[in-house]
Structure 1
Amino acid sequence: MAGAALLVAVPGPLGRAVAADFGSAPEAKAMAEKAAVTLKAGEADALAKFNDAAGGFRDRDLYVFCFETGSGKFTAHPNKALVGTDVRALKEKDGSPLGDKLYAAPKEGAVTSVDYKFPRPGGTDPVAKETYLVKVGAQACGVGYYK
């Protein structure tokens, strides 16, 4: 009890350490918006940045992924094995059609979002997640955060 009171009374670095380990909704949305601006400046350069771990589009558990709006094929993802595969093949652990939801959601000129459950990196239990999606030309890109 006394330990809990101390953490409440002195939030300092101890109180912020856990939250700082994971990206937040505003950070995910801002990264998705930044991805849209980068895509508008040049698709090939943008996709190269999104696929490069040092490209400026990865922060803790936040990252940009993209797919072609026609074929549904991933064009950018930290998991290189997914690049070239169809986003519509993704399923939630319970079999729900996650990929179909992601494929249908992006709209040109707007940030849209999709809620679903997906394991955190390194985990197996599904956790509530929301992904913000943007569409620029023939590319749709998303950034998700765990709630």
Structure 2
Amino acid sequence: MRSFIKFLALMFFSVFVSHSVLAADHGTTQEAEAMVKKAIPYIKTKGNEAAYSEFNNATGSFIDRDMYIFVLDLNGKVLAHGANAKLIGKNLSTLKDVDEKPFIEELLAIAKSKGKGWIDYKWPNPTTKVIELKSTYFEKNGDVIVACGIYK
């Protein structure tokens, strides 16, 4: 009986530790908001070109685990993207997720009307390469939208 109890305790501990390790691989809502709030003054201090270059830097200070900064103009054109440089310069205003949700269109509308917010959609996780549910926090800053998302 003691062996069985030890076995159960060990199994519980293993599940707890593995869940904690996996959770540490993902950013939190608070961390995503903090990253956006760090990026906005960085743009103001360094200027667009230097800030966007840092946001695009794969080893830079604006990429943390599965979180990264991306910047859109008010029409949906990508100005910076920490996970996929191929998107820079492309207009994503009509982009839809795998469920046909026009999430960029919604993000633009919320940013223009409220200035900031959250949006949920499905997107490929840059660390796992798997399509996952993602929540993105964004703030309008002048004529751009600065965003950072988390994978759930």
Percent of aligned pairs sharing the same letter: 36
Report the Cα offset of residue 6 of structure 1: 3.3
- Which has more helix, going by share of residues? 2
Is the contact between residue 35 and residue 62 of structure 2 (CA under 8 Å) also seen in structure 1?
Answer: yes
Q: Could you say which residue in structure 2 is the equivalent of 1:4?
A: 11
Equivalence map 1:1-147=2 (5 Å): 2=8, 3-7=10-14, 14=18, 16-41=20-45, 42-69=47-74, 71-77=75-81, 78-106=83-111, 111-121=116-126, 122-124=129-131, 127-147=132-152
Look at both structures and tell me which one has the larger radius of gyration over its CA atoms: 2
Task: Name the aligned partner's letter for residue 11 of structure 2.
Answer: A
- How many residue pairs end up in the alignment? 141
Q: With structure 2 as the length reference, what TM-score do the two structures score?
A: 0.80
Q: Return closer, same or farther for 1:15/1:95 CA change in 2, 3 Å cut-off.
A: closer
In 2: Cα distance, 1:14 partner to 1:93 partner:
29
Contact 1:105 1:133 in 2 (8 A): no
Matched residue type, 2:130? G
8 Å CA contact retained: 1:87, 1:102: no
Whether the aligned pair in 1 keeps the contact of 2:36 and 2:139 (CA below 8 Å) is: yes
**1:107: Cα distance to partner?**
5.2
Q: Match of 1:39, as an amino acid?
A: I
Range with greater deviation from structure 2 (89-98 or 56-65): 89-98
**Would you say the 8 A contact 1:107–1:134 is kept in 2?**
no
Change (3 A) 1:31 1:107: farther
TM-score (norm 1): 0.83
CA contact (8 A) 1:109 1:136 kept: no
CA distance in 1: counterparts of 2:113 and 2:48, whole angstroms: 15
| Structure 1 spans left out of the alignment, 5+ residues | none
| Preserved contact between residue 110 and residue 116 of structure 2 (Cα < 8 Å) | no
Alpha-carbon contact 1:36-1:135 (below 8 Å) kept: no
